[in-house]
Amino acid sequence: MTGPLKIVVTVKQVPDPNSSLTLEADNTLSREKEVVLDPGDECGVEEGLQLKEAHGGEVILVSMGPERAKDAIRKGLSMGADRGVLITDPQLAGADALLTARALAAAIKPEAPDLVICSTESYDGSTGMVPPMLAELLGVPQLTFAKKVEVDGSNVKVHRQTGDGYQVVEASTPALITVTAGIAEPRYASLKGIMAARSKEIKLIGLGDLGIERGEPAETIEGLADAATRKAGAVIEDDGTAVDRIIQVLAEAKVI
């Protein structure tokens, strides 16, 4: 048996994976495109909600971004999360992974959650560096690449995906978990959920509230060059001869 769980899920607003990106003058990625709740985070929210449904407790969404990132939090609230916290500050524009982790840690610490759930990596950056930094700054163990999560009392057990299978990894709460997108099919927000989300709290906090200064970033972009591109080859419509063309290429490459 397990008592109620206090669960923080980190969420991020990202450019819609189906739209193209643009660059700002200072070489940071523009967030002016269509934006959505990171699809990976939807799975994190879903996992958090399922754990809450099984054990009771509360699901708090914590995000960092411009004020309009409230929309991403609102989406998670309409799925059923209880409340949200948005760290928003002009000084955070273009924040690197460590600054992001520091801000998230400062906002999450006072909540003293049993579990922090992150997606393994964001859709836009895809580097997955914030979760281990966040775990370190919160002083908790990290249970990563989880495709399954079980909580029993203060024991958390995950199936951690590896290159050739999975590991069973366990720790005591409080702990940070990163979940892979396959862990749970995110639910659709019901009309009732969408209505209820309108009155749920989203607390806005700035860097000053967290007692954090921006500091020097780990890296400075000194220059941008065009990446080496491969020359496009022939593009052919399959009119029944495509297989022959492929066979020809395979033969030239000496794989058949």
Partner 1 sequence: MGKVWVYAELNQGALAPTSLELMALARELGDVEAVALGGGAKAAAATLGKHGAKVVHVNEDAAFDDFVAEPATAALASLYKEQAPDLILFSFTPDSREVAGRLAARLEVGLISNAGNVVATGGGFVAKVPYFGGAKLASMKANKKPAIILVRPKSFEPSEAGGTAEVKDFKASIDEGSKRAHIIERVVEASEKVKLEDAKVVISGGRGMGGPNNFPLLEELANALGGAVGASRAVVDAGWVPYSMQVGQTGKSVRPGVYIAVGISGAMQHTVGMKASKIIIAINKDAEAPIMKMADLGVVGDALKIVPALTAAVKAKKK
- Binding to partner 1 (CB under 8 A): which residues in 61-100? 96-99
Exposure of 198 in the CB half-sphere (CA atoms within 13 A) = 5
Measured N-to-C along each axis, helices 191-198 and 70-79 cross at an angle, to the nearest 10 degrees, of: 130
Burial 109-120 (b: 16+ CB within 10 A, else e): eeeebbbbbbbb
Q: Is 147 in the site for partner 1 (CB under 8 A)?
A: yes
Give Cβ neighbours of residue 182 (< 8 Å, ≥ 6 apart): 43, 147
Least spacing, CB of residue 253 vs partner 1, in Å: 5
Q: How far is the CB of 166 from partner 1 (least distance, A)?
A: 5
Contact predicate 140/174, CB 8 Å: yes
Taking the least distance from each CB to partner 1, the nearer of 2 and 100 is 100
238 in contact with partner 1 (CB under 8 A) = yes
Closer residue to partner 1 (CB): 2 or 119: 119
Phi, psi dihedrals of residue 34, rounded to the nearest 5°: -55, 130
Least gap, CB of 164 to partner 1 (angstroms):
4
Q: How far is the CB of 3 from partner 1 (least distance, A)?
A: 20
Contacting partner 1 (CB under 8 A), which of 5, 116, 142, 186?
142
SS3 assignment, position 209: helix
DSSP-H helix ranges across 80-185: 97-108, 130-138
Q: Mask 165-204, x = binds partner 1 (CB under 8 A)?
A: xxxxxxxx--x----xxx----------------------
Using rule CB under 8 A, residue 40 touches partner 1:
yes
Window 108 to 127, contacts with partner 1 (CB under 8 A): 120-121, 126-127
